[in-house]
Amino acid sequence: MLLLAGFAVMFIGVAKAGFGGGLGMLVTPLCVLAFGPKTAIGILLPLLCAGDAFSVYHYWRRWQAGNLKYLLPGVVVGVITGIQFIGRFSPRELNLAIGIIAVLFASFQFSKDRLFRNQKAFVPNYRVGWPCGIGMGITSTFAHGAGPLGAMFLLPQRLPKELFVGTNVLIFTCVNWIKMPFFCIDRSMVNWPVFAPQALITPATLLTSAKFFPLVPLGVWLGIWLNRRFSETGFLKTIYVILLITGLQLIFNFDLAALFH
């Protein structure tokens, strides 16, 4: 299981720096298999923030920061909403919902060029950004699984490959730091109902995160290397395939652990 966990943690860097987050949907299910659902989410958030830091450094100012104003207000609402229901829904129920979203979106992307050949690039706006941000905040709180919703907002903008990845890195850096206080503080500390009954990040989870930390920059380097070797068309197709595969995994709950025995 340590091999499984290490593989998942390295995926954090690969996903963020190389594939704009699409591959990152595999991280949480793999870590749940390795650590169990009660601790996996708390262990992952500091590692995700570390991956964000390395990726932001590489893609510094190579992003469309205007997307933040459309998404982040909804993200804050979604995180506060999600933290109220933490523990009330099973990981299976949440994975099923995220998987359906991923599969539907990937399927649409494979067919839309034939259906809408003259479709103009999507212009981001609050009407789409608010509900998308709320969904990102909720799914990210439960399972760090907001990648498909982020892709749904960014991909139709038809951004160049590097600009797409840089913008995705910037957005999820903000999303993860918005979550951080809600994961570290619980109601017993501040007596404020917007926080969870129990903190998800504890000294024990931080120690585990620290043990796996060296794999994050290695994954970032690998992701950057892979990114530079894909054509524009090949890159987008790779994103859609990854979303489809991970969505199917979340829906059908294949026994990934068997692959590592």
* pLDDT value of residue 161: 79
What is the predicted pLDDT for the residue at 38?
Answer: 63
* Amino acid of residue 173: T
Query: Taking residues 208-224, what's their average pLDDT?
Result: 87
Average pLDDT, the chain: 80
CA-to-CA distance for 185 and 198, rounded, in angstroms?
A: 8
Range from 71-75, 107-111, 145-149, 238-242 that averages highest in pLDDT: 71-75
Contact 77, 134 (CB under 8 A): yes
pLDDT digits (tens, 9 = 90+) for 177-197: 999 999 998 888 888 878 877
Cβ atoms of 169 and 16 within 8 Å: the answer is yes
The domain total for the chain is 1
Percentage above 70 pLDDT, the chain: 79
Range of the domain at 186: 2-260
Contacts of 4 (CB under 8 A, 6+ apart): 30, 33, 34, 256, 257, 260
